[in-house]
């Protein structure tokens, strides 16, 4: 099988390395398209994407570009040219999931994207398998290595956010602009893809409660630790009867939970199914070889699995039915009717669902204010 | 696809329930063979196994008997009659792995056994997938729900072994004769099957160091807790260049490790691969529906995966190359040259490999003596 790679950064070159060193002569990277990069020599480099799209000898295209365009355009062109596409690009998949699936179906090829959520963890594979038997009712997890590295380092070293972020940037664990990782948009993309796969549900970004992790301080961490909880940045989505709700926010996790003990840049992802119960997967959520490994697994599945047609998404409606136990730290005036209790700087809110929180509380809070969800 | 079930206990009837309620008319349980059971009405019951073996309309046989015979004989007869076989019976698989694989290959059918290790956790599936790309160097985990339930209850309630065992038996979490679960033979079977799948390695039961968990007391647990460790009963096997070593024993796990936080009857299993790094799977290691779920996953894989021929096992030689940090609690006289340090009733041994331990220490210890492996 001949393969082209779009993008030759950390992940793209990792895919090339794994295929070249372990392809057992069954797989060959024959062309690479990349933005011009004078810093490194790129093998098999072509100057235009057309040289890949029009090359009938290429069976599969691996897309490791970041961002929406030109990734969106190139993925569609490759699918429409009758090539399988494997993508690690969660932003473009979350946005164009249905368009890519439809194009794959029309052209009788596969669109695969294991590496887009949970890096090296076979999360989407096993979520899809569990769904064959079970109704999946909930998915949640630590799905961003950068924010988890920062938060677990703050917890371990009792350090504040800005100092740890700076270290993480120096070490290459956080980008110069870390917003997608720490303000929740990366996790939101991943939890939306998770909902697409786990529930066959069409979900809307604006329905989710997304709170940045920036407000967390070392003393917040200590305060909740004294209560037996570890603060973690979780994505979460629940569904029942085509209704759903979800969030990306700081959660207070029981200190003996797997989430509380998922440290450094590790990820963990958990599903709940009606016969399988709780199933959790833990591993490297990012990094060159774990991510490349997940892409090569998709590649091998093209041959080991019979072709599958993904079910079309159903309309899901947002329905905030669960009462949450929110705690906040703020200097703003909060109407008393929303306050269940107060302790030092922290207020426990009356139990409320996501809509009640978004409508009544969120407009009152400033960006430095902390929101934490505790178990009920 | 028509299916026969051998054994109609907790797991067998669970498989019937899942297939009947969710088979979407693609799968049908048409015959059941079981030991006579006057306590319950068994649907589709046949009086002799021949009625299944000779029935050409049956495509797949699910074996949920316990023990070696007649399971061994029946599995072979079904494979030789050209039927796929799915088994949950770790004892018979660990013993006859190669014979079953050879019979499946000869008859061009599949022999599948996901449920035999880790219950509902897709451990063997993902171990096999990881191996497609990586060299697997190590596998370990909490692979027995009964012993983990006992040990985690002892830890939580500061209770002693006998009292917790009695409660577990009353609750149905432990059998009247709990030996296989708490003396390590069940975990040994599972870790041997793991080695077969993960390394393609032919391993021998007698090479493993197997220590019962019976000697652990509440005060042992407390002693190691004070040092920052949680005692867990782990199976473990490592391999490199067709050499291997392994054990089933109490390990002192760092209190923030996933193993230390795997409680009740949950299992967790971890692999190490050279590109994927650490990958851990956590879920229900036993129980009616999780185990039945794993069996039905095998059934669905018969249709969704292209037929695969498992690689033949290679001869692996036992090679105790790793130095271990063993701690013991004993009243026996231990030669001073083996002792690195002493603290209360506990002796830390000089670093030694498995062979040194088995040859020099094991013969000196009595059954009430505790052996714990600490991280180096």
Q: What is the DSSP string of B226-262?
A: HTTEEEEEEEEEEEETTEEEEEEEEEEEETTSTTTT-
- pLDDT score recorded for residue A4: 98
Q: How far is CA B371 from CA A128, B66, B166, B318, in A?
A: 42, 30, 23, 21
Interface residues from chain B to A (CB-CB < 8 Å): 18, 22, 120-122, 125-126, 129, 132-134, 256-258, 260-263, 266, 273, 275-284, 287, 289-290, 292-293, 296-297, 300, 303-306, 308
pLDDT band at B119 (very low <50, low <70, confident <90, very high): very high
Q: Which of B114, B131, B276, B306 would best serve as a mutation to test chain A binding (most A beta carbons within 10 A)?
A: B276
Strand partners, A232: A251
Q: Chain A contacts of B284, Cβ < 8 Å?
A: 276-279
Nearest chain B residue (CA) to A309 = B304
Report residue B129 CA to chain centroid gap. 19
SS3 A159: coil
Contacts of B170 (CB under 8 A, 6+ apart): none
Spatial separation of the C-alpha atoms in residues B326 and B352, rounded to whole Å: 8
Spatial separation of the C-alpha atoms in residues B26 and B303, rounded to whole Å: 11
Is B114 a known ligand-binding residue?
A: no
Spatial separation of the C-alpha atoms in residues B325 and B339, rounded to whole Å: 11
Chain B: closest CA distance from residue A272 (Å): 10
Measured in degrees and rounded to the nearest 5, phi and psi for residue B214 equal: -55, -35
| DSSP classification of residue B364 | G
Spatial separation of the C-alpha atoms in residues B279 and B271, rounded to whole Å: 5
- pLDDT score recorded for residue B308: 81
Burial degree of A308 (CB within 10 A; 0-12, 13-18, 19+): exposed
Answer yes or no: are the C-beta atoms of B375 and B368 closer than 8 Å.
no
- pLDDT score recorded for residue A181: 95
Query: How much of chain A, in percent, has pLDDT values that exceed 90?
Result: 91
Q: Chain B contacts of A120, Cβ < 8 Å?
A: 276-277, 279
Chain B: closest CA distance from residue A341 (Å): 30
Spatial separation of the C-alpha atoms in residues B5 and A8, rounded to whole Å: 51
- Max CA distance (Å), chain B: 69
Spatial separation of the C-alpha atoms in residues B96 and B102, rounded to whole Å: 10
Contacts of A355 (CB under 8 A, 6+ apart): A320
Mean of the per-residue pLDDT values of chain A: 95
SS3 B130: helix
Nearest chain B residue (CA) to A14 = B275
Of residues A121, A129, A263, nearest to B279 (C-beta): A121
Answer yes or no: are the C-beta atoms of A8 and A34 closer than 8 Å.
yes
Q: A270 pLDDT exceeds 90?
A: yes
pLDDT band at B173 (very low <50, low <70, confident <90, very high): confident
Tally of CB atoms within 10 A around B307: 11
Looking at B31, B112, B125, B190, which residue is catalytic?
B190
Contacts of B164 (CB under 8 A, 6+ apart): B150, B153, B154, B157
Spatial separation of the C-alpha atoms in residues B168 and A333, rounded to whole Å: 52
Model-level ipTM above the cut of 0.85: yes
Give me Rg for the CA atoms of chain A. Answer: 21
pLDDT in tens, B241-299: 999 999 999 999 999 999 999 999 999 999 999 999 999 999 999 899 999 999 999 99
Contacts of B290 (CB under 8 A, 6+ apart): A275, A276, A277, B119, B120, B283, B284
What secondary structure does DSSP assign to B153-171, as a single string?
HHHHHT--HHHHHHHHHHT
SS3 B81: coil
Q: Which of B141, B224, B201, B210 is nearest to B357 (CA)?
A: B210
Spatial separation of the C-alpha atoms in residues B63 and B72, rounded to whole Å: 10
Spatial separation of the C-alpha atoms in residues B175 and A298, rounded to whole Å: 42
Beta-carbon separation of A305 and B305 below 8 A: yes
Spatial separation of the C-alpha atoms in residues B163 and B150, rounded to whole Å: 9
Residues of A with catalytic function: 190
Tally of CB atoms within 10 A around A335: 9
Q: A63 pLDDT exceeds 90?
A: yes
- pLDDT score recorded for residue A310: 77
Q: Which of B148, B138, B111 is nearest to B284 (CA)?
A: B148
Buried-exposed string B211-236: b where 16+ CB fall within 10 A, e elsewhere: bbbbbbbbebbebbbeeebbbbbbbb
Mean pLDDT of A193-215: 97
Answer yes or no: are the C-beta atoms of A232 and A253 closer than 8 Å.
yes
Mean of the per-residue pLDDT values of chain B: 95
Q: Which of B16, B18, B293 would best serve as a mutation to test chain A binding (most A beta carbons within 10 A)?
A: B293
Q: Is B190 designated active site?
A: yes
pLDDT band at A99 (very low <50, low <70, confident <90, very high): very high
Interface residues from chain A to B (CB-CB < 8 Å): 18, 22, 120-122, 125-126, 129, 132-134, 256-258, 260-263, 266, 273, 275-284, 287, 289-290, 292-293, 296-297, 300, 303-306, 308
Give me Rg for the CA atoms of chain B. Answer: 21
- pLDDT score recorded for residue B171: 85
What stretches of chain A show up as alpha helix (H) in DSSP? 10-22, 50-53, 71-80, 90-106, 123-133, 145-157, 161-171, 179-182, 185-199, 218-226, 288-304, 354-356
Spatial separation of the C-alpha atoms in residues B12 and B69, rounded to whole Å: 17
Domain ranges of chain A: 2-118+290-311, 123-285
Q: A137 pLDDT exceeds 80?
A: yes
pLDDT in tens, A333-363: 999 999 999 998 999 999 999 999 999 999 9
Architecture of domain B123-282: 2-Layer Sandwich (3.30)
Nearest chain A residue (CA) to B19 = A133
CATH of domain B2-119+290-311: 3.40.50.720
Answer yes or no: are the C-beta atoms of A161 and A89 closer than 8 Å.
no
- pLDDT score recorded for residue A39: 78
Q: B240 pLDDT exceeds 90?
A: yes
pLDDT band at A5 (very low <50, low <70, confident <90, very high): very high
Mean pLDDT of B91-105: 97
Chain A: closest CA distance from residue B327 (Å): 25
Architecture of domain A123-285: 2-Layer Sandwich (3.30)
pLDDT band at A68 (very low <50, low <70, confident <90, very high): very high
Beta-carbon separation of A293 and B134 below 8 A: yes
Same fold, A2-118+290-311 and A123-285: no
Answer yes or no: are the C-beta atoms of B89 and B99 closer than 8 Å.
no
| DSSP classification of residue A321 | -
Which secondary structure element, helix H or strand E, spans residue B6, and what is its range?
strand B2-6
Q: How far is CA A88 from CA A145, B323, B334, B352, in A?
A: 15, 41, 57, 45
CATH of domain A2-118+290-311: 3.40.50.720
Query: How much of chain B, in percent, has pLDDT values that exceed 70?
Result: 100
């Amino acid at each position: 099988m001949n393969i082209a790679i779009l993008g030759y950064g950390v992940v793209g070159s990792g895919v090339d390395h794994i295929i070249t060193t372990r392809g057992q002569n069954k797989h060959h990277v024959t062309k690479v398209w990349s933005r011009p990069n004078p810093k490194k020599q790129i093998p098999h480099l072509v100057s235009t994407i057309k040289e890949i799209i029009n090359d009938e000898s290429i069976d599969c295209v691996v897309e490791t570009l970041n961002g929406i365009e030109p990734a969106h355009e190139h993925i569609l062109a490759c699918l429409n040219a009758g090539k399988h596409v494997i993508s690690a690009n969660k932003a473009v998949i979350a946005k164009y999931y249905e368009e890519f699936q439809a194009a794959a179906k029309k052209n009788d090829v596969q669109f695969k994207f294991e590496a887009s959520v949970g890096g090296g963890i076979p999360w989407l594979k096993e979520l899809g398998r569990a769904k064959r038997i079970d109704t999946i009712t909930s998915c949640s997890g630590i799905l961003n290595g950068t924010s988890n590295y920062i938060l677990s380092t703050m917890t371990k070293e009792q350090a504040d956010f800005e100092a740890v972020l700076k270290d993480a940037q120096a070490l290459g664990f956080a980008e110069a602009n870390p917003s997608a990782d720490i303000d929740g948009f990366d996790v939101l993309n991943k939890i939306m893809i998770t909902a697409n796969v786990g529930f066959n549900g069409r979900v809307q970004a604006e329905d989710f409660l997304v709170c940045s992790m920036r407000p967390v301080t070392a003393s917040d961490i200590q305060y909740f630790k004294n209560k037996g909880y570890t603060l973690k940045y979780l994505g979460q989505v629940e569904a029942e009867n085509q209704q759903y709700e979800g969030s990306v926010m700081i959660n207070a996790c029981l200190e003996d939970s797997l989430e509380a003990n998922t440290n450094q840049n590790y990820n963990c992802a958990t599903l709940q199914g009606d016969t399988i119960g709780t199933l959790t997967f833990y591993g490297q959520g990012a990094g060159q070889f774990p991510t490349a490994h997940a892409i090569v697994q998709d590649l091998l599945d093209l041959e080991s699995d019979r072709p599958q047609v993904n079910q079309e998404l159903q309309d899901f409606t947002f329905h905030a039915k669960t009462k949450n136990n929110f705690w906040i730290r703020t200097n703003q005036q909060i109407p008393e009717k929303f306050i269940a209790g107060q302790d030092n700087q922290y207020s426990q809110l009356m139990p409320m669902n996501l809509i009640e929180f978004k409508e009544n509380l969120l407009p009152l809070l400033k960006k430095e204010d902390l929101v934490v969800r505790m178990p009920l």
